[in-house]
Amino acid sequence: MDTYATLRIGDKELQLPLINGTEGEKAIDISKLRAETGYITMDVGYGNTGSCQSAITYMDGEEGTLRYRGIPVEQLAEQSTFKETSYLLINGRLPTRDELTRFSVMLNDNSLVHTDLKVFFQNFPRESHPMGILSSMVNALRSFYPSLARNTEEINIIMTRLLAKVRTMATMSYKISRGHELVFPRPDLTYCENFLNMMFDSPVKPYEIKKEVVDALRVFWILHADHEQNCSTSTVRMVGSARVNLYAAISAGIAALWGPLHGGANQAVIEMLKEIAEGKGDYKKAIERAKDKNDPFRLMGFGHRVYKTYDPRARIMKKMCDELLESLQMSDPLLDIARELEEVALNDQYFIDHNLYPNVDFYSGIVLRAIGIPTSMFTVMFALGRLPGWIAQWKESQDDPQWKLSRPRQIYTGHKKYDYVPIHAR
């Protein structure tokens, strides 16, 4: 087997070591390239660039495979809980019964937030997007809980605190935005049940926790729990590479996830489906617009940088969407439009040629609507699911013996040197 690749530039030859992953992934190590040749590589959007070696998540975009710590996501969605999957991602293996109990106790112990945080929430302008609020508030947590991550025990507390408190904070922002009384976490409820109860329970109308809704939320969060080096996770790692605290790194990840090409796509899908519904269900127009190179419109919830086949998460989400609506005896006109849109797109030559398939966000918005989550909070739901992944990736990067400050280079294309001219002489 080859152990290096040979690069020839002019009469100079350089041997570049090859790196192999456990699933046969291959890389060329170019870390000495600039020092030895003066060249850098150019890879806008990093589609061909590995930024780290990671043992957390494996995905194969051609096969449609996704595994957390080696376990297929389908098995976790079927049998695990979000809490257990979070433990798996962060600690690298499934917990024993005792470890899981300890983890639950720690999550419960940390689930209340400082009451002063309420003042922050109340002072955001009414129109603020919940993702902007969440990103700011997670950053603010550092001021409320300033303890440093000096040892494993302290790091564990900060990680658990984030998992427990961000869930509470998300429900607080929802309640405050509606002018409703806050509902506090209950130790007798599971992680998912607690979230639903804090969101929807009220003194005037007690919330009935339904098994199928809890299950849908559990699967939704497990499917979002990690996705290797995507935009927000790379942001967490990049910001973390400057050795900032975990809160600041996660806050940056939330900001990146907000974008409609990334986590914001779940909200954008529903807005697109609503627009189609308002235009009397003319989904063919949306397909034509998506194909028109002079129109910036894209079919939201379609396409992926890595998956060139059906996103395995979308397959599970679609099935779950059907099951949830059926068991709740609900119908959603947007689901009918989504189904028709998918069928037309999958048979359209443009989508076939470009390998464009539904991604996780195509059906997730319909699931969230059925649960009762308002559209503006969809991306917050994604962020809550992605938290364990961000934490695991941050932890791995901080422990990495090959750790380095992230600092890409560029090819400068601006002016050549010229002299400053004082304003009176211009």
Place of tokens 């429900």: 171
Q: How far is the CB of 231 from ligand CMC (least distance, A)?
A: 7
d(CA 292, CA 288): 6
Distance of CA 343 to the CA centre of its chain: 26
Q: How far is the CB of 52 from ligand CMC (least distance, A)?
A: 18
240 vs 264, beta carbon nearer ligand CMC: 264
d(CA 341, CA 273): 9
- Greatest CA span in the chain, whole angstroms? 80
Look at the chain and count its residues.
Answer: 426
User: Per-residue b/e over 93-108, b at no fewer than 16 CB within 10 Å?
Assistant: eebeeeeeeebbebbb
User: Per-residue b/e over 264-278, b at no fewer than 16 CB within 10 Å?
Assistant: bbbbbbbebbeebee
* 226, 227, 304, 311: the active-site residue: 304
> Interface residues with ligand CMC (CB under 6 A)?
45, 227, 230, 261-263, 265, 290, 298-305, 354, 356, 359-361
- Residue 114 near residue 361 (C-beta atoms within 8 A): no
User: Per-residue b/e over 69-85, b at no fewer than 16 CB within 10 Å?
Assistant: bebebbebbeebbbbbb
Q: Which tokens go with 116?
A: 């002063």
In the residue annotation, 304 being an active-site residue is answered as yes
Instruction: Provide the 8-state DSSP code for 374.
Output: -
Q: How far is the CB of 261 from ligand CMC (least distance, A)?
A: 4
168 vs 230, beta carbon nearer ligand CMC: 230
Q: How far is the CB of 386 from ligand CMC (least distance, A)?
A: 9
- Write the CB contacts of 370 (distance below 8 Å, at least 6 apart in sequence): 213, 216, 321, 324, 325, 328, 330, 332
301 vs 312, beta carbon nearer ligand CMC: 301
d(CA 280, CA 289): 16
Report the C-alpha dihedral over residues 240, 245, 248, 252, rounded to 10 degrees: 10
45 vs 125, beta carbon nearer ligand CMC: 45
Neighbours of 389 (CB within 10 A): 26
Q: How far is the CB of 391 from ligand CMC (least distance, A)?
A: 17
Tell me the residue number closest to ligand CMC, measured at CB. Answer: 303
Burial class (CB in 10 A: 0-12, 13-18, 19+), 388: buried
* 201, 226, 311, 361: the active-site residue: 361
Q: How far is the CB of 274 from ligand CMC (least distance, A)?
A: 16
In the residue annotation, 295 being an active-site residue is answered as no
Q: How far is the CB of 410 from ligand CMC (least distance, A)?
A: 20
Q: Which tokens go with 365?
A: 């918005």
185 vs 388, beta carbon nearer ligand CMC: 388
Q: How far is the CB of 239 from ligand CMC (least distance, A)?
A: 18
200 vs 378, beta carbon nearer ligand CMC: 378
Task: Indicate the SS3 state at residue 2.
Answer: coil
Backbone φ/ψ region at 295: left (φ over 0), alpha (ψ -120 to 50), beta? beta
Residue 383 identity: A
Task: Indicate the SS3 state at residue 57.
Answer: strand
200 vs 363, beta carbon nearer ligand CMC: 363
- Catalytic residues, which ones? 304, 361
